[in-house]
A and B are shown apart, each in its own frame.
Chain A
């Protein structure tokens, strides 16, 4: 077993934990489309980084700051809204990446590396970046976790209680953007969404209490990463694709468990009402 394999395992564990934490924020705040738009839109950042010869993380990071600003601006215009903003940024970002890539045909980085990632070639730098974002996300949860939850569930009540909603929104968006960026080297710009949203959405179906969603999501995230990696090596398929398929499989299992439970509670309710 060679060293790149261990690097990939470590990266998938760190990313699994990070996606469990930040994915829960995405799911609770209903920011999935925003996250998808952001993941697609980091693609031109990767291409620019390849052209300029600097780190993909830097290119994607700069682009994500620009695009979050554009999206926030568009979503505040009347008759446009958040969905239009995400749609415009998503297609525009993707088209920009394609254009740049077609203008520089002899890029050293292949397009598929940017789109679907390549976890087997991650560096210690990539892992370190993901770990830093993970630590920051955990600190944010420790310091402002309660406020973040409050504003996710009841933005009106949050504002009425004297808090500033846009501060929390800014914190959430920054964490999401940072996660998308550090996930890009491993799972690429299109597949990152599976690892971010999948485990958290599954956890939300399995446990009812919010404070248990995050640990379960982290566990599922790590399992998705590691099992996907093993599957990709065993059957020689794309690692990014395998990881997101495992995450999707957990989602299917979780919804099956939920509907089984629902069926049982309905049956119980019927029985008790029949007894009375």
Chain B
């Protein structure tokens, strides 16, 4: 069941597996870097809105120009949606509900158009779920180009984005304007969604933006380490997911959706790290509160530094 290392190399050097691997690695790295700001600025819901809003673009592109049109359609929808959602989310009060309405209505436009087509169900599935193992060479090129552009947008504005995330008032006081940076970030998120839609699936791309960074935030407290840790976690999960999917279909004789497997591997890793983190914290707190039997409860509430001072004294 478990392949050895030379076998893994052999599997991954099959042309279609290499294409899927390149796709997953590019999307994983881009998703991890951009996901840092999605996480720090709580933009998960807006990202979900972007993902849904790209969907009608995929559909219209497909209806107008077939498979070749999907990419361009998604790109146009993504740019429109990122500006729209930036504006809606900056209105502050009630933005939460506003995003939900934008998300649902954009998605409905896609559904209504696709429901007029013949072969509606299979097309809907392809557009929503992606086809990771059958990406073509030209699709891989598109994914690499768009993924790299998205990553560069965020890397080029990295320091300012960090400033914006941690100290929005200081950011304004230092003379920066927020809108351009918000638009750049949302466009980068939208580009990752576009790049990933055909391969990973329109909704599952979101996992690459959210889950690896959530894992990294549990592993490290250093901001500088969050992006590299997230990228490594994401790439590893992607590779393992592809291999699991491959083994399941070759050895197990079933054909699981490869991108669903990739995402579920990430989710499992996340839940394991989460449980380990919570247990580790409990054990630390328990150790700290043990030396003083009487006032242990108040000490626990006051935290670590006090307890350490006490044991040192």
Please report whether the interface of chain A is mostly helix, strand, loop or mixed according to DSSP: helix
A103 touching B218, Cβ below 8 Å: no
7 additional contacts, CB 8 Å, given A88-B210, A94-B204? Answer: A36-B45, A86-B45, A91-B263, A103-B256, A193-B103, A241-B115, A244-B108
- Whether B97 and A201, one on each chain, are in contact in the complex, defined by CB atoms closer than 8 angstroms, is yes
How far does the alpha carbon of A131 sit from the alpha carbon of B22 in the complex, in Å?
51
Smallest Cβ-Cβ distance to B207: which chain A residue: A91
Contact of A240 (CB < 8 Å), options: B111, B255, B256? B111
Known: A92-B267, A94-B204, A116-B111. A197 touches B101 (CB 8 A): yes
The count of residues in chain B whose C-beta lies closer than 8 Å to any C-beta of chain A is 57
Question: With an 8 A cutoff between CB atoms, is B203 at the interface?
Answer: yes
> CB distance A40 to B210 under 8 Å?
no
The answer for the CA separation of A200 and B94 in the assembled complex, in Å, is: 11
Bound CA–CA A33/B45 (angstroms): 6
- State the CA gap A180–B153 with chains docked (Å): 38
- Give the A interface residue count (CB, 8 A): 57
- State which of B97, B109, B267 has its C-beta within 8 Å of the C-beta of A91: B267
Q: In angstroms, how far is the closest chain A Cβ from the Cβ of B5?
A: 27
Q: Does A112 contact B (CB under 8 A)?
A: yes
Which are the 7 A-B pairs with shortest beta-carbon distances? A248-B105, A194-B104, A238-B115, A91-B207, A241-B111, A87-B210, A95-B263
CB-based contact A95/B207 at 8 Å:
yes
- 5 pairs of residues in contact across A and B, judged by CB atoms under 8 Å: A92-B267, A194-B105, A204-B94, A241-B115, A245-B112
Q: Using Cβ atoms and an 8 Å threshold, which residues of chain A touch B45?
A: 32-33, 36, 83, 86
Nearest CB of chain A from residue B153's CB, rounded to whole Å: 21
A residues within 8 Å of B by Cβ? 26-27, 30-33, 35-36, 40, 74, 77, 79-81, 83-84, 86-88, 90-92, 94-96, 98-99, 101-103, 105, 110-112, 115-116, 190-191, 193-194, 197-198, 200-201, 204-205, 236-238, 240-242, 244-245, 247-248, 251
Pick from B121, B254, B267: contact of A110, CB below 8 A: B121
Chain B residues near A35 (CB, 8 Å)?
Answer: 100
Within 8 A of A (CB), among B33-81: 39, 42, 44-45, 47-48, 52
Chain A CB within 10 A, most for which of B45, B206, B263, B274: B45
Determine the distance from Cα of A161 to Cα of B52 in the docked complex, in whole angstroms.
41
Nearest chain-A residue to B258 (Cβ)? A102
B residues near A81, Cβ cutoff 8 Å? 42
- Chain B nearest CB, measured from A183 CB (Å): 12
* Most interface-central of B48, B221, B255, B256 (chain A CB within 10 A): B48
A251:B101 contact, CB within 8 angstroms: yes
Chain A proximity of B87: nearest CB distance (Å): 12
Contacts A92-B264, A103-B256, A241-B108; A194 near B116 (Cβ below 8 A): no
How many angstroms from the CA of A80 to the CA of B201 in the assembled complex? 25
Are A244's CB and B211's CB within 8 A?
no
Complex CA distance for A88 and B12, rounded to whole angstroms? 28
Q: Are A32 and B277 in contact (CB under 8 A)?
A: no
B26 CB to nearest A CB, Å? 19
B211 touches A88 (CB 8 A): yes
Min C-beta distance of B96 to chain A, whole Å: 4
Residues in chain B near residue A200, CB distance under 8 A: 97
Instruction: Decide: B210 and A197 in contact? CB cutoff 8 A.
Output: no
Out of A80, A84, A90, A193, which one reaches B100, CB within 8 Å?
A193
Cβ-defined contact, B124 with A91, below 8 A: no
Chain A residues, CB < 8 A from B121:
110-112
Q: A79-B218, A80-B214, A80-B274 are in contact. Are A86 and B256 (CB under 8 A)?
A: no
Q: Which residue of A lies closest to B42 (CB)?
A: A83
Q: Which residues of B contact A79 (CB under 8 A)?
A: 217-218, 221
In the complex the two chains form, what is the Cα distance from A239 to B115 in whole Å? 9
Contact A95/B39 with A194-B101, A204-B94 known, Cβ cut-off 8 Å: no
Which of A102, A244, A245 lies in contact with B260, CB distance below 8 A? A102
